[in-house]
């Protein structure tokens, strides 16, 4: 569990973990990243009250999301590792037991995940489910490269697969997606069709933005895919190249939308997107020798 300035939420997150009902022991490792609110104190109170199952990692300075994410993962020693960030929480006390039972009996799967309920923090939107109704029970790395469909607070995976981390992991934006790519390259993904966690979303957050924010995220994902392509020795190169091409096409569309916002009032969206698609398809075929 990584946390920073989650004073409003951290109690609910911790409580949802320590109240899990299992036939095995588990430890909650909390990476507290030098919060400026009361988060650190709340975590200290819980770790002192439950020393047998909570280990708190303090920081003397703010490390940032990815360094904190990596050092907290490295501090985990369990056979299986689950993720629950400090502003999310679990809503089924048997979540861990169900997922660990599956992984124990299916060694060709590297991780298990489930559906989550999305709650908008400012209540600007109604709650919705994270996964689509037709989510496949078994996914492979092809699916992971093409789409993001795994709620972070739903993941349970085999700890053996993260004994070492590639150096480039320190330089990327999305640690969850990077971890998912690495794990999907080791085995299959199992989907449990149950809602067992809550994912909080903020309408003003970077992940919820469009335009400039979305373009920034888009570029970061392209960077990650290129790094993973090198790391995997281009084993998935055709899939990654197609995904990057799609991301670049979306970026150009969003750039046009940002530069000419009047298009939405003139009902120009469809022909602009088609024009961008045609130009990009010509460029893609030219670059790839078609």
The verdict on 225 and 187 lying in the same domain is: no
Each residue of 241-252: pLDDT tens digit?
999 999 988 887
Task: Output the 3-class SS for the chain.
Answer: CEECCCCCCHHHHHHHHHCCCCCCCCCEEEEECCCCCCHHHHHHHHHHHCCCCEEEECCCCCCCHHHHHHHHHHCCCCCEEECCCCCCEECCCCHHHHHHHHHHHCCCEEEEEEEEEEEECCCCCCCEECCCCCCCCEECHHHHHHCCCCCHHHCEEEHHHHCCCCHHHHHCCCHHHHHHHHHHCCCEEEEEEEEEEEEEECCCCHHHCCCHHHHHHHHHHHHHHHHHHHHCCCCCHHHHHHHHHHHHHHHHHHHHHHHCHHHHCCCCHHHHHHHHHHHHHHHHHHHCCC
The verdict on 181 and 228 lying in the same domain is: no
The verdict on 159 and 283 lying in the same domain is: no
Listed residues 185, 201, 217: the one ending a domain: 201
Give the global pTM.
0.85
As for how many domains the chain has, the answer is 2
Listed residues 137, 166, 201: the one ending a domain: 201
Each residue of 206-222: pLDDT tens digit?
333 334 566 788 899 99
The verdict on 161 and 23 lying in the same domain is: yes
Domain extent for 218: 209-287
Point out the residues of the chain with pLDDT beneath 70: 203-214, 256-290
Listed residues 169, 201, 233: the one ending a domain: 201
């Amino acid at each position: 569990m990584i946390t920073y300035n989650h004073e409003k939420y951290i109690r609910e997150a911790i409580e949802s973990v320590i109240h899990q009902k299992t036939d095995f022991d588990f430890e909650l490792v909390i990476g507290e990243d030098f919060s400026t609110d009361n988060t650190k104190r709340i975590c200290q109170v819980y770790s002192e009250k439950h020393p047998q199952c909570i280990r708190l990692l303090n920081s003397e300075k703010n490390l940032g999301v990815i360094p904190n994410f990596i050092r907290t993962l490295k501090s985990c020693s369990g056979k299986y590792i689950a993720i629950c960030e400090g502003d999310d929480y679990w809503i089924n006390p048997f979540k861990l037991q169900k997922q660990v039972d599956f992984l124990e009996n299916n060694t060709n799967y590297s991780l298990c995940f489930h559906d989550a309920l999305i709650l908008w923090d400012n209540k600007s939107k109604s709650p919705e489910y994270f996964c689509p109704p037709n989510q496949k029970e078994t996914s492979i790395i092809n699916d992971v490269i093409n789409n993001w469909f795994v709620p972070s607070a739903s993941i349970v995976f085999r700890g053996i697969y993260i004994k070492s981390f590639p150096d480039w992991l320190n330089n990327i934006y999305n640690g969850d997606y990077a971890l998912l790519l690495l794990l999907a390259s080791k085995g299959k993904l199992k989907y449990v069709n149950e809602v067992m966690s809550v994912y909080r979303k903020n309408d003003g957050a970077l992940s919820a933005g469009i335009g400039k924010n979305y373009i920034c995220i888009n570029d970061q994902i392209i960077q990650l895919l290129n790094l993973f392509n090198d790391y995997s020795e281009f084993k998935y190169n055709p899939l990654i190249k197609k995904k990057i091409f799609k991301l670049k096409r979306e970026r150009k569309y969003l750039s046009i939308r940002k530069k000419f916002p009047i298009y939405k009032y003139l009902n120009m969206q469809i022909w602009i997107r088609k024009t961008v698609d045609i130009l990009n398809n010509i460029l893609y075929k030219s670059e790839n020798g078609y």
